[in-house]
Amino acid sequence: MSRSPGSPQAGATGTPPAPADPRPTDQEAPAAVRLEGAGVDGRLAPLDLSVGPGVLALLGANGAGKSTLLALMAGRLVPTRGRVWVAGAPARSPAAALARADVPQAVAFPGRARVDELLGVARACRGVGDEAVTDAIARMGLAPLLARRASRLSGGERQRLALASALMGAPRVWFLDEPAASLDREGLARLAAWVRAHAAAGGTVVVGAHRDEEVAAYAPRRLLRLEAGAVVGDEASPPANGAAGPPADGASSPPADGAAGPPAGAGSVD
């Protein structure tokens, strides 16, 4: 079959090939969070972990290592071994700081500062506009509290303020350490709706809690279980409709010398 110069190359069926899809595949896109042999002596066993979009729940009792792992990811704690990246940058770098939101268990505010003033400081730190601040206020129900001083907020109200301050502008990766501990039913519903919306938009949320029921409202796609500073379980969390969850992709704790490794199934997280 002949073809005129400049015409597209025909395939076996005589139709030109489809243009290549320019979007990156899951394999090509960098993980939102990645740990390579990262650990803290006496607190967290070395861990290899890859976290992609969606909600990853870290579950375990007090002292299991959840807060230590979250602090490593958020750059608040330096690993004694291994390396940690957030959004493709070292966890303690300015680039990683711009890509993440971090809400530890305890957040302190100057008592005499008003809620609107503190939100203004958060806005300046995050470099976001009025729309992002307005959205954060609405999502956490802070409008009635804007003129109130931080010293007059309840524990749950302070937690709403901490969440709104950290999550405004929706940075790519969120680290939340027991974020619902002080929240009432309404506060939890507001936070859960925000977390689910962020995950649906392609964001990543890593949340720590004690029990499965505490994270059910966030619709996690994976559950990572910890005991005594080591990963002991890595499970897909099936959607509410019962469909199978996504395949595993990268979490493992190298066993200590002479010790057994995590049980079968404790593989990667993505």
Structure confidence by residue, pLDDT tens digits, 162-221: 999 999 999 999 999 999 989 999 999 999 999 999 999 999 999 999 999 999 999 999
DSSP string for 10-56: P-TTSPPPPPPP-SPPTTTSPPSEEEEEEEETTTEEEEEEEE-SEEE
Q: What is the pLDDT of residue 238?
A: 62
Q: What is the pLDDT of residue 127?
A: 94
Range in 10-24, 33-47, 50-64, 86-100 with the lowest mean pLDDT: 10-24
Q: Which domains does the chain have, with CATH numbers?
A: 33-106+173-252 (3.40.50.300)
Pull the structure tokens for residue 124: 């300046």
Collapse the DSSP code of 96 into the 3-class scheme (helix H, G, I; strand E, B; otherwise coil) and give the result.
Answer: helix
Q: Contact at 8 Å (CB) between 218 and 205?
A: yes
Tell me the per-residue pLDDT of 25-72, one tens digit each, with 9 for 90 and over.
Answer: 334 456 999 999 999 999 999 999 999 999 999 999 999 999 999 999
Cβ neighbours for 228, distance < 8 A, ≥ 6 positions apart: 63, 64, 65
User: Considering the entire predicted model, what is its pTM?
Assistant: 0.79
Q: How confident is the model at residue 236 (pLDDT cuts 50, 70, 90)?
A: confident
Q: How confident is the model at residue 239 (pLDDT cuts 50, 70, 90)?
A: low
Separation between Cα atoms, residue 65 and residue 73, nearest integer Å: 12
